[in-house]
Chain A
Amino acid sequence: MADLTTDFVGIKSPNPFWLASAPPTDKEYNVRRAFEAGWGGVVWKTLGAEGPPVVNVNGPRYGAIYGADRRLLGLNNIELITDRPLEVNLEEMANVKADYPDRALIASIMVPCEEKEWKAILPRVAETGCDGIELNFGCPHGMSERGMGSAVGQVPEYIEMVTRWCKQYYDRPVIVKLTPNITDIRYPARAAHNGGADAVSLINTVSSITSVNLDTMSPEPSIDGQGSHGGYCGPAVKPIALNMVAEIARDPETRGLPISGIGGVTTWRDAAEFLALGAGNVQVCTAAMTYGFRVVQEMASGLSQWMDEKGITSVDEVVGRATPNVTDWQFLNLNYIAKAKINEDLCIKCGRCYAACEDTSHQAIAMSEDRTFSVIDEECVACNLCVNVCPVEECITMEKMPNGATDPRTGKVVDDTYSNWTSHPNNPAATAAE
């Protein structure tokens, strides 16, 4: 079995699976059980400043999006940071850390954007013995209305300023948690980097309304007939998170900045994908909230099995393996030519590929009297839509055309040499081909 031990910014944990700051990490009882179930670390539910804690709504805080058979695909919440007193949380954190020295324990913090507030809380957090802190600049609801959370995360200057304070008043690793509710994730990441952050973590939740009740005309979740936008998470947000992780991993200004990947991690495979795109570990919230703490066991066994099969012996070796393959559109090889191919033996003759291509794409699929479906190479642009809508795995595949063959659509001979948009004749700004 491959070794899953992880060293993330100097913080060691037996595996790369941490619980994200959220209800699963809101108290000692949960965190102890999480560690017993096998989680490598936790980011404690976000702490607020000293004084009366925030209050949550007393009605539903979650809304959900389902797939077939009521599989939960997306969760939305309007919960705030911890609503338990600061002292209670700090004491519990110290207890847990003392009993689980081999697990990572991170304090998530969100206090108003004033130096004195941060200066006040940091030493108290340090006393718990936790391994580092995470600055919650991400929460998109409630706290943002009070000038915290994503209200800070959306202003790179604030991020940099607060990160600097933290580096000044706290001597262990500082992780900055980013909000996805922004147009270009590289700016807040750069700000964190410039402020001296040891790492960034992302994503926090995506602003959303899950649904509208058409009888009451209230958005869901509904509190006494009204709703508020909440934060979306779970499997549905993974593609958004993966892209943001990759953007930061390959940005020349932040390249090498450690990343904790968050957003929709549900299985070992999701985790491996985050790692491959450059995350040094992953954090999980919705999967644990949907299936319980035991899901980590599948994540660990699956990742280790996969690593064994690939001959990979440490998590570090996975990190960033796919990053070099993420590029800009303009650098994609335009001489790579493929055609869809339908395997008639596997085809169940549903005709979904035909409907998709005929109605909405390139009229490149032919249908015979006896419902045999075949690709018309003269029309096929290899868009992949038929593959995506086909219910049978591997039934439709994309086949690369060999060097020297003639593409019947364009009449051009396939040339295996790499060539991209930057040198394409149709590009007004084209440079000469190398």
Chain B
Amino acid sequence: MANSRLTPGVVAQRLGDQDYSRNFADKDPLLDTHEAAVAADRCYFCHDAPCVTACPTDIDIPMFIREIQTGNPQAAARTILEQNILGGMCARVCPTEQLCEEKCVREVAEGKPVEIGRLQRYATDTLMSADVHPFTRGAATGKKVAVVGAGPAGLSAAHRLAMKGHDVVIFDAREKPGGLNEYGIATYKTADNFAQREVDWLMQIGGITIETGKALGGDLTLDGLRGDYDAVFLAIGLAGVNALRAEGEEKTHVTDAVDFIAALRQAGDFGSVPVGRDVVVIGGGMTAVDAAVQSKLLGAEHVTMVYRRGRDAMSASEYEQDHAASKGVRIITGAAPLRLHGNGAVAEIEFAYTEAGPDGLTLTDNTFRLKADQVFKAIGQTLDGVPAGLELTGRKISVTGAGRTSLTGVWAGGDCAAGGDDLTVTAVAEGRDAAEDIHATLMGG
């Protein structure tokens, strides 16, 4: 511990090793058998259950919970994974408070939902720790499908396609597969290298090859893939980031939150990751919360999140906001950055309060300054490197039905495709459904 919370500037080693391991440990540890039994017992096995409707992958939640109740977590896992092959990751990262658990009849009645996410993790972890892969490949079809992007959408599509007997090659620009599961999700949600373990487990289906370090637009072209494969599934996520458009954005220690998070996820040793004493995060989504919370966990003294609209408009859920607050993050809403001050490195950042009017958001004359030796920009990711010839809707790839793009033989899903929330679970659902449609198309002709 060379430094402390009070050391000025952006430095590593603010905390002791024990603090790091405690801070970045599993946030909601695995339920034990008794806890799972008690939690499962609360499920009413509702008819046409609202939780299922709220799950983007339509997991048969009452059924898997009943299977846990009856002492059969492996059967429960199978029920989950049939619908959502990344059920293990989703159990950890889904904002359940906005999805299944929000709609649980016990949430509505008592304000205390059945703990669906944690029960899902109990089931999937049980199966994965027994190293069971409950699915087998269908007879080989002789068809080849290229998947671009090894994030949740790409992995989900690849698994479903492999199950149907197709040969799948996944290309990814990064060094490791997993997409944001590996490079984005908060460390404490996916402790113990879960993202890679899950990819390894998923690959047990067979018939899938992953080629990392291969980028569409680099080594690969869409035309080339269309020529070499029977179908192409694009799952490239959102590789770009929005600019702040504030004066002084180029100063040292003003970086993209996603890069900070990716570096943190890849750091073998948390103590090696430098962090400021006074950190300011700009944005109101999950990325902003994760950057802010993890800065705090790395030992920053003051961390402030600043969002330009009101609290209700923040895309981070109330639960995420409370989590940030519980870690000591201050949240300021209704303020936008004007300029960053500092001589070379950032030292202060100046904000103006905003006002919502009929013409949208306007800046008021009321300004304030925050001390900042490190600033993270988390104001949204954008589609980057989309091949020419694909129609766009807004800033995403247009799709109809189960992910069909404007080009025949090319499907898209996950964050890069229009429609649906930018969530892991939505990416999994879109990947799965596109795979079904690709299969039907390839086999129908």
Cross-interface CB contact of A69 among B34, B41, B70, cutoff 8 Å: B41
Cross-interface CB contact of B78 among A291, A294, A301, cutoff 8 Å: A301
**B71, CB-defined interface residue at 8 Å:** yes
**B45, CB-defined interface residue at 8 Å:** yes
Cross-interface CB contact of B70 among A268, A292, A393, cutoff 8 Å: A268
- In the complex, residue of chain A having the shortest beta-carbon distance to the beta carbon of B79: A301
Residues of A near B62 (CB, < 8 A) are 294
* Given known A294-B63, A301-B78, A301-B79, contact A267–B45 (CB-CB < 8 A): no
CB interface residues, A 275-313, toward B, < 8 Å: 291-292, 294-295, 297-298, 301-302, 305-306
Q: How far is the CA of A141 from the CA of B324 in the complex (A)?
A: 63
CB distance from A75 to the nearest CB of B (A): 16
Cross-interface CB contact of B47 among A268, A292, A393, cutoff 8 Å: A292
- In the complex, residue of chain A having the shortest beta-carbon distance to the beta carbon of B78: A301
Q: How far is the CA of A292 from the CA of B66 in the complex (A)?
A: 13
Cross-interface CB contact of B34 among A267, A306, A393, cutoff 8 Å: A393
CB distance from A306 to the nearest CB of B (A): 7
Interface centre among A267, A291, A301, A306 (most CB of B within 10 A): A301
Q: How far is the CA of A269 from the CA of B75 in the complex (A)?
A: 13
Cross-interface CB contact of B72 among A69, A71, A268, A393, cutoff 8 Å: A268
| Pairwise interchain contact A305-B66, C-beta atoms closer than 8 A | no
CB interface residues, B 248-270, toward A, < 8 Å: none
CB interface residues, A 226-284, toward B, < 8 Å: 267-269
Q: How far is the CA of A301 from the CA of B69 in the complex (A)?
A: 13
**B54-93 toward A: CB 8 Å interface, digit per residue (1/0)?**
0000000011001101111011001100000000000000
Residues of A near B42 (CB, < 8 A) are 69
- In the complex, residue of chain B having the shortest beta-carbon distance to the beta carbon of A393: B34
Residues of A near B66 (CB, < 8 A) are 267, 291, 295, 298
**A392, CB-defined interface residue at 8 Å:** yes
Residues of A near B75 (CB, < 8 A) are 298, 301-302, 305
Interface centre among B33, B69, B72, B74 (most CB of A within 10 A): B72
| Pairwise interchain contact B63-A302, C-beta atoms closer than 8 A | no
CB distance from A64 to the nearest CB of B (A): 15
CB distance from A57 to the nearest CB of B (A): 26
CB interface residues, B 366-400, toward A, < 8 Å: none
Q: How far is the CA of A115 from the CA of B72 in the complex (A)?
A: 50
Q: How many residue-residue contacts, CB under 8 A, span A and B?
A: 42
By size class, the interface of chain B is: 10 to 19
Interface SS of chain B: helix
- In the complex, residue of chain A having the shortest beta-carbon distance to the beta carbon of B65: A298
Q: How far is the CA of A155 from the CA of B358 in the complex (A)?
A: 86
CB distance from A386 to the nearest CB of B (A): 18
Q: How far is the CA of A392 from the CA of B70 in the complex (A)?
A: 17
Residues of B near A69 (CB, < 8 A) are 41-42
Interface centre among B47, B66, B69, B78 (most CB of A within 10 A): B66
Residues of A near B67 (CB, < 8 A) are 298, 301-302
Interface SS of chain A: helix
Residues of B near A291 (CB, < 8 A) are 45, 66
- In the complex, residue of chain A having the shortest beta-carbon distance to the beta carbon of B42: A69
- In the complex, residue of chain A having the shortest beta-carbon distance to the beta carbon of B34: A393
**A305-325 toward B: CB 8 Å interface, digit per residue (1/0)?**
110000000000000000000
By size class, the interface of chain A is: 10 to 19
CB distance from B222 to the nearest CB of A (A): 41
CB distance from A266 to the nearest CB of B (A): 9
Residues of B near A392 (CB, < 8 A) are 34
| Pairwise interchain contact B72-A306, C-beta atoms closer than 8 A | yes
**B423-435 toward A: CB 8 Å interface, digit per residue (1/0)?**
0000000000000
CB distance from B277 to the nearest CB of A (A): 43
**B11-50 toward A: CB 8 Å interface, digit per residue (1/0)?**
0000000000000000000000110000001100101000
* Given known A69-B41, A291-B45, contact A302–B70 (CB-CB < 8 A): yes
Residues of B near A301 (CB, < 8 A) are 67, 72, 75, 78-79
Q: How far is the CA of A222 from the CA of B3 in the complex (A)?
A: 76
Residues of B near A269 (CB, < 8 A) are 70-71
* Given known A69-B41, A69-B42, A393-B34, contact A297–B70 (CB-CB < 8 A): no
CB distance from A30 to the nearest CB of B (A): 15
* Given known A301-B78, A301-B79, A302-B75, contact A267–B70 (CB-CB < 8 A): yes
Q: How far is the CA of A300 from the CA of B69 in the complex (A)?
A: 15
- In the complex, residue of chain B having the shortest beta-carbon distance to the beta carbon of A306: B72
**A384-396 toward B: CB 8 Å interface, digit per residue (1/0)?**
0000000011000
| Pairwise interchain contact A305-B72, C-beta atoms closer than 8 A | yes
Q: How far is the CA of A291 from the CA of B44 in the complex (A)?
A: 8
Q: How far is the CA of A246 from the CA of B71 in the complex (A)?
A: 24
| Pairwise interchain contact A298-B41, C-beta atoms closer than 8 A | no
Q: How far is the CA of A301 from the CA of B76 in the complex (A)?
A: 9
Q: How far is the CA of A69 from the CA of B47 in the complex (A)?
A: 18
CB interface residues, A 390-426, toward B, < 8 Å: 392-393
Residues of A near B45 (CB, < 8 A) are 291-292, 294-295
Cross-interface CB contact of A298 among B33, B47, B70, B74, cutoff 8 Å: B70
Residues of A near B71 (CB, < 8 A) are 269
Q: How far is the CA of A298 from the CA of B74 in the complex (A)?
A: 12
CB distance from A311 to the nearest CB of B (A): 15
Q: How far is the CA of A298 from the CA of B123 in the complex (A)?
A: 14
Q: How far is the CA of A305 from the CA of B47 in the complex (A)?
A: 25
Q: How far is the CA of A292 from the CA of B63 in the complex (A)?
A: 12
Residues of A near B63 (CB, < 8 A) are 294, 297-298
- In the complex, residue of chain B having the shortest beta-carbon distance to the beta carbon of A305: B75
Q: How far is the CA of A291 from the CA of B69 in the complex (A)?
A: 14
CB distance from B243 to the nearest CB of A (A): 52
CB distance from B383 to the nearest CB of A (A): 41
Residues of A near B33 (CB, < 8 A) are 393
- In the complex, residue of chain B having the shortest beta-carbon distance to the beta carbon of A297: B63
- In the complex, residue of chain A having the shortest beta-carbon distance to the beta carbon of B74: A305
Residues of B near A297 (CB, < 8 A) are 63
Q: How far is the CA of A267 from the CA of B34 in the complex (A)?
A: 18
Q: How far is the CA of A116 from the CA of B364 in the complex (A)?
A: 97
CB distance from A288 to the nearest CB of B (A): 12
CB distance from B133 to the nearest CB of A (A): 14
CB distance from B417 to the nearest CB of A (A): 33
Q: How far is the CA of A294 from the CA of B79 in the complex (A)?
A: 13
Q: How far is the CA of A291 from the CA of B70 in the complex (A)?
A: 14
CB distance from B238 to the nearest CB of A (A): 38
CB distance from A245 to the nearest CB of B (A): 20
Interface centre among A268, A297, A305 (most CB of B within 10 A): A305
Q: How far is the CA of A367 from the CA of B49 in the complex (A)?
A: 48
Q: How far is the CA of A268 from the CA of B33 in the complex (A)?
A: 18
Q: How far is the CA of A392 from the CA of B32 in the complex (A)?
A: 12
- In the complex, residue of chain A having the shortest beta-carbon distance to the beta carbon of B134: A1
* Given known A69-B42, A295-B66, contact A302–B47 (CB-CB < 8 A): no
CB distance from B20 to the nearest CB of A (A): 29
Q: How far is the CA of A392 from the CA of B37 in the complex (A)?
A: 12
CB distance from A390 to the nearest CB of B (A): 12
A-B pairs, top 3 by smallest CB distance, nearest first, are: A267-B70, A301-B75, A305-B75
27 A-B pairs within 8 Å (CB atoms) are namely: A69-B41, A69-B42, A71-B41, A267-B66, A268-B70, A269-B70, A291-B66, A292-B45, A292-B47, A294-B45, A294-B62, A294-B63, A295-B66, A298-B67, A298-B70, A301-B67, A301-B72, A301-B75, A301-B78, A302-B70, A302-B72, A305-B74, A305-B75, A306-B72, A392-B34, A393-B33, A393-B34
Interface residues of A (CB under 8 A from B): 69, 71, 267-269, 291-292, 294-295, 297-298, 301-302, 305-306, 392-393
**Could you list 14 further interchain pairs (A-B, Cβ under 8 angstroms) beyond the known A71-B41, A269-B71, A301-B75?**
A69-B41, A69-B42, A267-B69, A291-B45, A291-B66, A292-B47, A298-B63, A298-B70, A298-B72, A302-B72, A302-B75, A305-B74, A306-B72, A393-B34
